[in-house]
Each structure stands twice: as C-alpha cells, then as structure tokens.
Amino acid sequence: MSVKTYIPKVAEIEREWFVVDADGQTLGRLATKVATILRGKHKASYTPNMDVGDYVIVINAEKVKVTGRKDEQKTYYRHSNFPGGLTATTFRQMIEKRPERVIELAVKGMLPGSTLAKQQLLKLKVYAGPNHPHAAQQPKPLEL
C-alpha cells in the first residue's frame, strides 16, 4: 500500500483576503504572522513548491512599534551600484518617509529566497493610514 502526497491543482486553490491593523503591533511578530499567511502555511493544503497563500492587507503601517532602542539603532541599507553609493536610513526616518516599506522589507526577509517569494510578496498590500481600496474583496479582520 502506497500513500500518495496530495498536490493541489491551480484551479482548486481558494484565496481569501485578510486585513491586519498594525497599530501598536511589534514589527517582527506582525511580519512572521503575515509571512505565514502569504505562504499558505495556515492551510491544510500547504505545498512548499506552490503559491497557495492568501492576500493580506496591512493598515496603519505608520503606527507599528519596535522594542528597545531599535527606532534609533535599526538601519536599512541600499546601494545604487555606483562607487560610494551606499545609503543608510534609520527606522525612524523610514517610518516618517515611507512607513509601508518597513513592513514590506520585514515580511520579505521572512519569505524564502526564491522566485516563489516574489509571487507571494505581490499578495501583500500595505497602507500607511487606516483606509484601503480593497473593500470590494470583503477582507476578514485577522487578530494577531
């Protein structure tokens, strides 16, 4: 007797929409929960080599918290690929300029380093304020 592994068909994958309020949430804990839902690990039909995850809308990104002195010490780096093109930005500066990017980068770091991660990251929608344009999808509130 052999047991076959269940592989879901693309047509069988059902995607839901969830909305998460980042107000007062810790950045890392929020990012792990969101990454789990984007990958689909909360479903029984989870398959590591397929994108079976759900859509996640994160609102109030500007109100996300970090513990300790990370708001002064946490640094984001980017490089322009020119000599001397390294730019460093602190967490506090990033929250003031582009608060959505903080959550996007945290979730991106928790997804696998593959082309599948790019597909999964496209299902993440982050907004600085409390409003989002996805009311038509009827997202369910997600408590973390």
Q: In this model, does residue 1 exceed pLDDT 90?
A: no
Looking at the domain assignment, is residue 93 inside a domain? no
pLDDT averaged over every residue in the chain = 95
Residues 6 or more apart whose CB falls under 8 angstroms from that of 74 comprise 66, 90, 91
pLDDT in tens, 32-78: 999 999 999 999 999 999 999 999 999 999 999 999 999 999 999 99
pLDDT in the model for residue 143: 87
Looking at the domain assignment, is residue 83 inside a domain? no
Looking at the domain assignment, is residue 43 inside a domain? yes
Looking at the domain assignment, is residue 108 inside a domain? yes
Structural domain total, the chain: 1
Looking at the domain assignment, is residue 1 inside a domain? no
Residues 6 or more apart whose CB falls under 8 angstroms from that of 133 comprise none
pLDDT in tens, 79-123: 999 999 999 999 999 999 999 999 999 999 999 999 999 999 999
- For position 132, which CATH number holds? 3.90.1180.10
Looking at the domain assignment, is residue 89 inside a domain? no
Q: Please name the amino acid found at residue 124.
A: L
Looking at the domain assignment, is residue 122 inside a domain? yes
pLDDT in the model for residue 140: 96
> How many angstroms from the chain centroid is the CA of residue 133?
18
Q: In this model, does residue 15 exceed pLDDT 90?
A: yes
Looking at the domain assignment, is residue 139 inside a domain? yes
Q: Please give the Cα distance from 103 to 53 (Å, whole number).
A: 18
Report the predicted TM-score, pTM, of the whole model to 2 decimal places.
Answer: 0.92
Which domain covers residue 105, as residue numbers? 15-66+101-144
pLDDT in the model for residue 4: 86
**CA-closest candidate to residue 60, choices 94, 29, 98, 20:** 20
